Amino acid sequence: MALTPPVIGMLAFTLFAFWGVAGWALVRTLRQERRKVELLEDQDRIDTYSPKALAELHEWIEHNPEDPLAPKAREQYNECVDTLETVDNRFYDWSEREIDSLERL
């Protein structure tokens, strides 16, 4: 059974799509990790949450104050707030207005 041109084309497309997307994801991830390492080497600290993630953590803490994990969540939240207030360069896109509106829990 011979491979027809459409089958060969679909195989080529599939290989390109899989390896292309996988390669792109790998390069993107490695660049992000390199940036994190550079920030850590330069400042010894890095913001651990994006604005959306920190807002979600804050919301979870407010809705689950009696949860056994709440003290640890509060500690991580406060650590991120402290870091955001002390570092000059941030990994995530934080505006000064967003940072100024944060308060420790």
**What are 36-75's pLDDT values in tens digits?**
999 999 999 999 999 999 999 999 999 999 999 999 999 9
Helix (H, G, I), strand (E, B) or coil at 53: helix
Q: What does DSSP assign to residue 4?
A: P
pTM of the predicted model, to two decimals? 0.76
C-alpha to C-alpha distances, 69 to 16, 36, 56, 61, 73, nearest whole angstrom:
44, 27, 15, 9, 6
Domain boundaries, the chain: 1-44, 46-105
- H-helix segments, the chain: 5-43, 51-63, 70-86, 96-100
